[in-house]
Amino acid sequence: MKVLNANPFFMEFLESSDFKNSDAMKDILNFLYREKIKDIVIIGGVAVFLNGFKRSTMDIDFLVSRESALKIRDHFQSLGYKITTSKDSNKDLSFIRLEKGSAIIELILALEFYQRKAMKNNKEAEMMGFRIKYTSPENIIELKLKAISQSSILNNRILDSSDIRDIREMIRINNFSKLDISSFKKFALAIGIDEDLVSKIFS
């Protein structure tokens, strides 16, 4: 299924010496197309790369509905992938990890408001002949902030993490306005990130 809006970074990403999951990417894109699964969005390092910040990543992260996540899990289990799952504080399935050799696919279920928002506000591009959605810079920042808020290490060492770097690069590349940055700061505070850390993140 060919589309016109090919992402110029995608082939460069696939050819990166750090990325070992090309076969896994082909497998999941083929499955999504065959099963007509549309409620899924690329997030994480792949989305960061596709939005213009060329950094390495070893896995493929998706934000996906529960129903589609279970379909993907069952399919990849039949292909011999090891399945690892985790639940949230309400004991609802929230995460599925698919692993086979060096191939790692992580499915984050869209359970919370900010995740459901990220499912709707996204971009589309041609990848390996298929149309696939990947999250916007705005959503990357909010998802990264949420990851930071859930971290058990809220101190200066977190400033060295890829999450902080990704946030700063998304802001730099996309030239977000002061108003936009103020909204990100408010979001960070609302989800429980310490004010001093928020200041450091957006310094």
Please, what is the average pLDDT of the chain?
A: 83
Tens digits of residue pLDDT in 90-101: 788 999 999 988
- The strand pair at 103-109 and 60-64 is best described as parallel
| Host H or E run for residue 130 | strand 130-135
Tens digits of residue pLDDT in 112-168: 888 888 888 788 887 767 788 999 999 999 999 988 887 744 454 445 478 899 999
**Mean pLDDT calculated for residue range 13-39:** 75
Distances in Å between the alpha carbon of 118 and those of 108, 115, 181?
12, 5, 18
pLDDT surpasses 80 at 181: yes
The whole-angstrom separation of Cα 187 and Cα 68 is: 28
- The strand pair at 82-87 and 60-64 is best described as unpaired
The whole-angstrom separation of Cα 131 and Cα 111 is: 24
Q: Which residue has the tokens 């289990």?
A: 77
Residue percentage of the chain with pLDDT more than 70? 84
The domain ranges of the chain are 10-135, 140-201
Strand partners, 104: 99
The whole-angstrom separation of Cα 153 and Cα 193 is: 11
Q: Does domain 10-135 have CATH number 1.10.10.60?
A: no
